[in-house]
Every structure is written in C-alpha cells, then in structure tokens.
Chains A and B, each alone.
Chain A
Amino acid sequence: MNGFIEPIVGRYVHVEINGEINRIYFEENGSGIPLVCLHTAGSDARQWRHLLADPEFTRHFRVVAFDMPWHGKSNPPDSQYGTEYRLTTASYTATIRAFCNALKLERPVVMGCSIGGRIVLNLAIEHAREFRALIGLEAADFQQPWYDTAWLNRPDVHGGEVCAALVSGLIAPNGPEASRNETLWGYKQGGPGIFKGDLYFYRVDGDLRGRTSDIDVNQCPLYLLTGEYDFSCTPEDTLRTAAGIPGAQATVMERLGHFPMSENPEQFRRYIAPVLQDILDKQNY
C-alpha cells in the first residue's frame, strides 16, 4: 500500500569492541524478551526484515538485528581500513557480547544463521549463562568446504557477482522469486573481501568439533534448524552436531535452504513460530 511505513526502526549504537568504538547499525521492533538476530556471512541484517515486522512475534519479543562491523551500514572500525578483514571465533563472540551489553539486553535469546549459527554454538559452549535460549539456523560444528574462497576477492572476478552466484545454489528451488532475488542482492552489495573474511571464521578458525559436547542445555536451551536444500551446512551436519549435545532440539526444514528467514519467510515462519512459543512457555512456567 502506497505510504505504508513499516514498524521497524533503525538506529546506530556505539559499541566498544576490542578497545575501539564501532558504530553499529541495528534495526528493532517489538517489546518483551530480547531476541538478537545474526546475519549470514557476507550479507547484513536486512535478511531479518520479515521476522522484524512480524506482528505476532513482536508482541512478545523485542527483535533486534544488527549489521556486523564491515557489513551493511556498520562501517569498518576507523583503524582497520586498509587491513585484511578476518572474522575469528574470538572477535565474533566479543562483538555479539559487546553489542548485547551496549544495549543493556538482559539475557537475550540469540538466533544466528550460517556463521551466525556456528557462533551460537560457541556462545552455548562459553557463555551459556548470559543467554535465555540460543537458536542456530544452518548450524553445525563443522562442514566440508565445497569451493575455494580465493575466488571471492580477486581483481579479475566481480566480487558481488561471484559471491551471489556461489550462494544462489544454497537457496531451495521454487521459493518466492522476489525473496530469492533480495537474498542474493545482499551478497552483491558486500564490501570487497568481506564474505571471504567471514569464511575465515567458518572454514579455518571456527571448527568446533570436539567442543560442542560441553554444551549444557539446562543452562540455556539450544534449538538447531536446517533447511533440507542446504548443501553447505547439510541436515546431516546439523543432526550429527545435535546428536552430540544431550537435549539439543534439531529440526530439518522442508523446502528451505541456507537462508530460511529471507529466501522464503512464510515457510520459515512455520518452523520458527513453535520454537519462539517454546521459549515463551519456558518463561511463563
């Protein structure tokens, strides 16, 4: 409808990460339990816009999605221009905790997708008491690489085109065309080398095999949901990971791929609604 203004509000918060102030862009809507959403590698928080605008979820949750430094509208920290960006387990964890502290979020739920799903596992291992629940989408302790990330940032290959084309196959076929295009648009807009730098965490630094058995879901419930068409983090990767974490809940989502919240928001809603309801029920118990 012409003139319709969405309820999502975007602002900047100054967050000190590793001794330097970062100007972090975030969007939010709703009130209640804080629900912090983490975007995939090489993209930004626009992936969460459907969840952010969902009237039912935002009645009970303060949904917050932020652009990681170097992504979307969060610029690189001032001192880091010209350096090679590399996300690590430590820097990713520090960023999420610093963001939550800066907004004074009390024991938020954190939901992350892809690299966001991987880091959620690390939050469960190292900082479970700080969170009310953790949700990993397309999450596993490890998955087999399927391409050489050197192609993502070189002067003779268009970075935006190749990043989008690589991940396009991770979207389930026959979903909404506009949602598919929007998901890929995020990849076409990333800064040079940022997707590759995120994948340093995913491929090199963030191997959590052998560590996830330390997760205690009694401290913090853990939900893992993976799309059946995700051949990067496959359902088998997630189910294997969940099998090693007593009490973790794992779900395979039909007709979804690696970007459930943005590639097919309606289909994703069917799977995330019961998870959010379960978290709510646990609060009211």
Chain B
Amino acid sequence: MESKLVRHDTDPVPFAPDAVVAAFKTIPDLLAHDADLTVRGRWLDVDCLLGPSTQPFHVAIRAGQIVDMTPAPVLMRTWRFAYRATPAALAAHWQQMPPAGWHDLLALTKRGQATLEGDLHPFMTHLQYFKDLLALPRRSGFGGAS
C-alpha cells in the first residue's frame, strides 16, 4: 500500500511521513557502502539520537560505522547529543535539489525545523560527517529528480 502524501501550508514539498522514516532506516546500509564517509568518521565513537522528530533512532557509531540503530524510546538508553528534524524538513532536505533554506542541517535549526541538543562536541568535531550522513537518502533518490 502506498503511503499517503501530505503537505501543510508551511511544508516546502509534499511527503509521506512513513516514507521519511523508511528512508531514514536506509542510512546504515547507505553508509556501509560509502567507504570515504566511513573513513572520515574513523575517529568517531558515539551514541546519539538522530532522525525524524516523530520517530527518532538511537544510533551507535563506532569507528565511523553504524553498529546499531534502534527506534526510540529505549528504556533508560542514554545519548550524548540529539539532532531531530521534522519529517517535512527531512523530506525537503532529501530532495535532489533541496529548496533554499532546507538544504543544510544548520539551516534547518536556524529556521526552527530541527533541534540540536546535548553535548555537541562529537557533532562539531565531525560536523561534515554528520551533514553527509544525514543527507545520504538524497543520494539514493528519495526526492526523485526534482
């Protein structure tokens, strides 16, 4: 069954909320096939909370590889930092040509479509890694050829 596309007045692109969560789940596999990105994260070990604000995931990263990704909440699971964006924001972010102002993780926080919380040190020391990691569904054609 196809997911229903929704678009509120403030959403830049129509999207299916289920499809956003499904696309996020593909990130570990996309990363596993991206040797360059994995290498760039080789010094990174962190447990963080990432994903759609409606369904974030506990993500365990070791030496740049995602070794576990589990939907939140998990009882008493801790995380060092969290980056959560609205499904509408991720849908826009993953377009082949994302709309202006929706094309960068920190553009999304500036416009109030994402939140960044916790101990930001691992995020900032690996900022480009996380930007590229969370943009991976764009490369896999989530947004089509818009």
Closest 6 CB pairs of A and B: A169-B104, A165-B127, A165-B128, A231-B107, A146-B110, A228-B100
Which of A165, A166, A234 gathers the greatest number of chain B CB atoms within 10 Å? Answer: A165
Cβ contact within 8 Å between B103 and A157: no
A129-185 contacts to B, CB under 8 A, are 144, 146-147, 151, 156-158, 161-162, 164-166, 168-170, 172-174
Let me know if A229 is at the binding interface, CB within 8 A: yes
Does the CB pair A165–B131 fall under 8 Å? yes
Q: Which of B98-139 contact A (CB under 8 A)?
A: 98, 100-101, 103-107, 109-111, 120-121, 124-125, 127-128, 131
B35 contacts partner chain A, Cβ-Cβ < 8 Å = no
Q: Considering residues A144, A174, A231, which has the most beta carbons from chain B within 10 angstroms of its beta carbon?
A: A231
Nearest CB in chain A: distance from B137 CB, A: 14
Please name 14 pairs of A and B residues whose Cβ atoms are closer than 8 Å in the assembled complex, sorted by A. A146-B107, A146-B109, A151-B124, A158-B125, A165-B128, A169-B103, A169-B104, A169-B105, A169-B106, A174-B97, A229-B103, A231-B104, A231-B110, A231-B111
Partner of A164, one of B104, B107, B125, B128: B128
Interface size on B (CB < 8 Å)? 20
Taken residue by residue from 212 to 231, chain A's Cβ proximity to chain B (1 for < 8 Å, 0 otherwise) reads as 00000000000000001101
CB-CB under 8 A from A231, the residues of chain B are: 100-101, 103-104, 106-107, 110-111
CB A173 to nearest CB in B, in angstroms, measures 5
**B104 proximity list for chain A (CB < 8 A):** 168-170, 231
Q: Which residues of A contact B128 (CB under 8 A)?
A: 161, 164-165, 168
Q: Tell me the nearest residue of chain B to A151, going by C-beta.
A: B124
Task: For the complex, give the distance between the alpha carbons of A172 and B97 in Å.
Answer: 9
Q: Helix, strand, loop or mixed for chain B's interface?
A: helix
With a cutoff of 8 Å between Cβ atoms, the chain B residues found around residue A165 in the complex are 127-128, 131
CB distance from A125 to the nearest CB of B (A): 28
User: For residue A161, which residues in chain B have a CB less than 8 angstroms away from its CB?
Assistant: 125, 127-128
Q: Are A157 and B106 in contact (CB under 8 A)?
A: no
Which applies to chain A's interface (DSSP): helix, strand, loop or mixed?
Answer: loop
Which residues from chain A contact B125 at a C-beta distance below 8 Å?
Answer: 156-158, 161-162
Chain B hits for A162, CB < 8 A:
124-125, 127
B94 to chain A, nearest CB (A): 11
What 8 additional pairs, Cβ within 8 angstroms, besides A162-B125, A164-B128, A231-B101?
A: A146-B106, A156-B121, A156-B125, A157-B121, A174-B96, A228-B100, A231-B104, A231-B110
